[in-house]
Amino acid sequence: MSAAVRPLAEGELLELHRDLVATPSVSGEEGPLASWLADFLAARGARPERLGDSLLVAAGTGPLLLLDSHLDTVPPGPDWTRDPFAATVVAGRVHGLGANDAKAAVAAMTAAFLALAAAPLPVTVALALVAAEETNGHGSRDVFEALAERGQLPAAAVFGEPTGLDLAVAQKGLLVLELVATGTAAHAAHARRLGAVNAARLLARDLMALGDLALGPEHPQLGATTLEPTVVRAGTARNVVPAEATAVLDVRTTPALAAAEVIARVRTKAVSEVRVLSDRFAPRATPPGPLLDAARAARPGAREYGSATLSDWAQLPEGVPGIKLGPGASERSHTPDEWVLESEILAGARCYEALARAFAAAAAAGAEGIA
């Protein structure tokens, strides 16, 4: 790409954001928005590639810096007082589904990419606007697989999520386990005399025992690994002792203790069978190096913290430094009348562009850690 790419003025950026919000893209229904954005980017001189319902577009030469955010939203809840797809602007606030999470980041990253693509850079800047982040993350996985097939492993990646433009330098992983306790079905009136084993009692004992399970040292940014029962099921009728009882365990992991060791410790403590339902979302932490330096240069004085919530950072190939950074606030995500400030969107675009330029300068200077 060259100077034929046309950057966005601030008013055009805010208009882009409103158009994104006004185009429904609940998870599984991102196709129309992906098509609209592909046409939008092409009209500005870019050449986006369609990967399912995700888009990938790149500019420049050299090590690859990836800007990644998601097109999909959760469904609107019942408590909205505004049209979730109207992109209503009130006193500088844009209300609408996904306005904050994460269409503010999508708009800001798109504006930053177009600005960066308009002039040669000593790095390749790639923009990934992906599907399914709110569900299974296959959109970013598709992008990483496509890049791997071309031998283009990212040198670093920035994931656009609402962080208040603070730097999420670490992110907890997610391990989903299931306890399965097995007992003996019997009439409740005769269970004690018959010696029937109540699976609900076994499961309850395990849940209590796991309450004080040691899960390794605390991580400096993420704190402790946590384990919480979330979905508990037992029984088929009021008067029947359950033969099986199950509990889903939501385990938020840190780099301080490997997932395999977490599983081993749970199995040591529990009598129930322990099944692994998902171990795909590994914890992440940003090592010292050019990406973190560039982020600090773009946002001097920003808070650095560890994030307990997931993002597509969990999909990033091992060994590639990443960071979570974007306009808006996480607390507004998935809430009725979700909103973001127009000023936050503009600041986000400036931040992403400044970060990329600082990273490119480090690459041009031969900084260690940029492959």
Residues 344 and 328 sit within 8 Å (Cβ to Cβ): yes
Residues 129 and 54 sit within 8 Å (Cβ to Cβ): yes
Cis ω for the linkage preceding 270 (within 30 of 0): no
Q: How confident is the model at residue 322 (pLDDT cuts 50, 70, 90)?
A: very high
Looking at the fold, whether 163 and 92 belong to one and the same domain comes out as yes
Taking only the tens place, the pLDDT of each residue in 219-274 is: 999 999 999 999 999 999 999 999 999 999 999 999 999 999 999 999 999 999 99
What integer is the mean pLDDT of 189-213?
Answer: 95
Does the pLDDT of residue 26 top 60, yes or no?
yes
Cross-strand bridge partners of residue 240:
187
DSSP 8-state code for residue 209: H
Q: Which residues are catalytic?
A: 133
Taking only the tens place, the pLDDT of each residue in 92-110 is: 999 999 999 999 999 999 9
Whether 217 maps to a domain, the answer reads yes
Q: Which two tokens stand for residue 3?
A: 């100077």
- pLDDT for residue 366: 87
Q: Which two tokens stand for residue 155?
A: 């040198």
**Domain boundary at 258, 281, 304, which?**
281
**Domain boundary at 230, 249, 281, which?**
281
What CATH number did the domain enclosing 202 receive? 3.30.70.360
The backbone region for 23, taken as left when phi is positive above 0, alpha when psi lies in -120 to 50, beta otherwise, is beta
Q: Give the number of residues written for the chain.
A: 371
Looking at the fold, whether 123 and 138 belong to one and the same domain comes out as yes
The pTM of the full predicted model, rounded to 2 decimals, is 0.92
Looking at the fold, whether 238 and 165 belong to one and the same domain comes out as no
Cα(357)–Cα(366) distance, integer angstroms: 14
**What separation, in Å, do the N-terminal and C-terminal C-alpha atoms of the chain show?**
22
Does the pLDDT of residue 132 top 80, yes or no?
yes
Looking at the fold, whether 269 and 129 belong to one and the same domain comes out as no
Expressed as residue numbers, the domain containing 223 is 173-281
Looking at the fold, whether 61 and 110 belong to one and the same domain comes out as yes
Q: Which two tokens stand for residue 69?
A: 């955010």
Does the pLDDT of residue 191 top 90, yes or no?
no
DSSP structure string for 11-26: HHHHHHHHHHHHS--B
Does the pLDDT of residue 371 top 80, yes or no?
no
Looking at the fold, whether 34 and 91 belong to one and the same domain comes out as yes
Taking only the tens place, the pLDDT of each residue in 145-177 is: 999 999 999 999 999 999 999 999 999 999 999
**Domain boundary at 233, 262, 281, which?**
281
Cα(350)–Cα(343) distance, integer angstroms: 11
Whether 369 maps to a domain, the answer reads no
Q: Which residue has the tokens 């006193």?
A: 91
- Residue 86: closest CA among 23, 169, 28: 23
Looking at the fold, whether 305 and 249 belong to one and the same domain comes out as no
- pLDDT for residue 305: 97
User: pLDDT averaged over the chain?
Assistant: 95
Give how far Cα 270 sits from Cα of 227, 230, 251, 275, Å: 13, 17, 15, 12
- Residue 245: closest CA among 236, 253, 254, 256: 236
Whether 39 maps to a domain, the answer reads yes
What integer is the mean pLDDT of 118-128?
Answer: 93
